[in-house]
Chains A and B, each alone.
Chain A
Amino acid sequence: MRINLNTLKEKLPTVPMDKLQAGEVSRPEYLPSIGVFRAIEAAHEADNSKDVDWSSFTLAEAEEALSHAMGYEAYEYIDEVDEDERPFINRGNAVHQYLHSCNIIGQLKRTAPEKQVSEVQFF
């Protein structure tokens, strides 16, 4: 199963940089570049360097993906925080957005078994 990352990025909410810098919107709504999602995809979908398109993301984007991974909270952590803080856990985290998309697509596939072929285009 593969996600059309270009389409995924288009569907994500965009935040004007001036609003982000002015603090009018919270940091979690910042939008990662497509290269960050390419790096995330490489980390989740492949395990060998020969299967990665190394020109599809920059080193800076790979490092940004790593920082998202380092900021990812496990579900054990959810019980440890106050209830009013829980909605913000992993919010805006690019890894979480990717996993969420994979999960949604998985659910769609399960509900439409007749379309379980690799050619199906999501988004």
Chain B
Amino acid sequence: MEKSYYCAEQVGQMQATYDALVMLKMIHDAGCDIVNDPINYYCYDFGDQYPIFIKCLKRVFGDFTTTFEGQNEHWQEVNTYRIPFPELSHFFAIVGSQESGRYAAKFNKKMKQTCDYLEFEMEGLVAGNCLHITLTGSYGILSSFLKVLLEIRQEVLQVIRDHKSRITAGARNVVLLQMVYERLGSVPRVSVGDRTTAVFSRVIEHLGGSSNGVDAESLTFDEMRTMLKDVLDQATINRKGEAA
């Protein structure tokens, strides 16, 4: 068995190609279509994965600006980029001023990364609607840097999604309660901020109706409204019968 099949130059090509492959896997998992809009990831030399890192950032965050290209006092290559991330302003508004500082510090700390293999590092700073990153050094593994940027993006988008989901649930709950109030003049005691399925079940139970064995979790909002309308019709008939 051969001890090695590659010379040093080939090993460098291979390592850069693997780094690029990992970056593409990351943006694929983040939702980018790299099959219909493909990216060539073969690297002819170590360092050729740098343009692929830039391409991945553009695919995920949109176009961005190079704010500095040069050398530091130790003659190391320094590149600074401004990555647009408009969702950040929405995110900070949701979490509030007190939590904003904590999150910004957490993200800044997370973006401070050092390459495990070569003298290469990243530092980052969160601004109101963008990320500023600085890469110091000429060569290194970039996939670990891209990974933290994607993790920050994922966390921010998840908080926004959860917030939107809570607002939607609240609005739907109000619609259901409004239907009950318009027909009966009163509503059961429920939390408007609760999940819609829980509010729906509570309302049906209050009206003495039955969901006929259907799990509320499997219903769409339109189906809930239709079922509630039927239960309200029956409740109205029952009340008229009792009054007569």
Q: Which of B7-55 contact A (CB under 8 A)?
A: 7-8, 10-11, 14-15, 17-19, 21-22, 24-26, 28-29, 34-36, 38-42
B14 near A100: Cβ-Cβ < 8 Å = no
Tell me if A72 and B40 are in contact (CB < 8 A).
no
B239 within 8 A of A: no
Rounded to whole angstroms, the CA-CA distance of A74 and B2 in the bound complex is 11
Whole-angstrom distance between the alpha carbons of A113 and B2 in the complex?
Answer: 23
> In the bound complex, what is the Cα–Cα distance between A101 and B2 (angstroms)?
11
Given contacts A39-B21, A49-B41, contact A66 B2 (CB under 8 A): no
Interface contact B41-A59, CB-CB below 8 Å: no
Q: Is the CB of A62 within 8 A of B21?
A: yes
B42 and A47 contact, CB distance less than 8 A: yes
- B22, A59: Cβ atoms closer than 8 Å: yes
Query: Which one of A39, A48, A77, A96 lies within 8 Å of B40 (CB-CB)?
Result: A48
Residues of A within 8 A of B17 (CB): 43, 47
The answer to whether A62 and B25 have CB atoms under 8 Å apart is yes
Q: Please measure, in the bound complex, the distance between the C-alpha atom of A77 and the C-alpha atom of B4, giving whole angstroms.
A: 9
Which residues from B are CB-within-8-Å of A10? none
Q: Does B75 make an interface contact (CB < 8 A)? A: no
| A66 CA / B146 CA spacing, docked (Å) | 14
Tell me, yes or no, whether B74 is within 8 Å of chain A by CB. no
With CB as the reference atom, state the residue of chain B lying closest to A40: B18
Say yes or no: A72-B11 contact (C-beta < 8 A), given A63-B22, A96-B5: yes
With A and B bound together, what is the CA distance between A69 and B18 in angstroms?
Answer: 7
Q: In the complex, are the beta carbons of A70 and B117 less than 8 A apart?
A: yes
| Interface residue total, chain A, C-beta cutoff 8 A | 34
Q: Given A43-B17, A54-B25, A66-B19: A103 and B2 within 8 A (CB)?
A: yes
- A contact residues around B34 at 8 Å (CB): 49-50, 54
> Separation in Å of the A110 CB from the closest CB of chain B?
16
Q: How close is A102's CB to chain B, nearest CB, in angstroms? A: 8
Check if B189 is an interface residue, CB within 8 A of chain A.
no
A103→B2 CA distance, assembly (Å): 9
Residues of B within 8 A of A89 (CB): 3-4
Q: B10, A74: Cβ atoms under 8 Å?
A: yes
A78 touches B3 (CB 8 A): yes
Which residues in A have some Cβ–Cβ distance to B below 8 Å?
39, 42-44, 47-50, 52, 54, 57, 59, 62-63, 65-66, 69-70, 72-78, 86-87, 89-90, 95-96, 99-100, 103
Which 8 A-B pairs rank lowest in CB-CB distance, beginning with the nearest?
Answer: A47-B42, A50-B38, A75-B4, A74-B8, A49-B34, A69-B18, A99-B5, A66-B18
- Residues of B near any A CB (own CB < 8 A): 1-8, 10-11, 14-15, 17-19, 21-22, 24-26, 28-29, 34-36, 38-42, 116-117, 141, 143
Task: Sample 30 A-B pairs with CB under 8 A, ordered by A number.
Answer: A47-B17, A48-B39, A48-B40, A48-B41, A49-B35, A49-B38, A50-B35, A52-B24, A54-B24, A54-B25, A59-B25, A59-B29, A62-B22, A63-B143, A65-B22, A69-B14, A69-B15, A70-B141, A72-B6, A73-B3, A74-B6, A74-B8, A74-B10, A75-B3, A75-B4, A75-B7, A78-B3, A90-B4, A96-B4, A96-B5
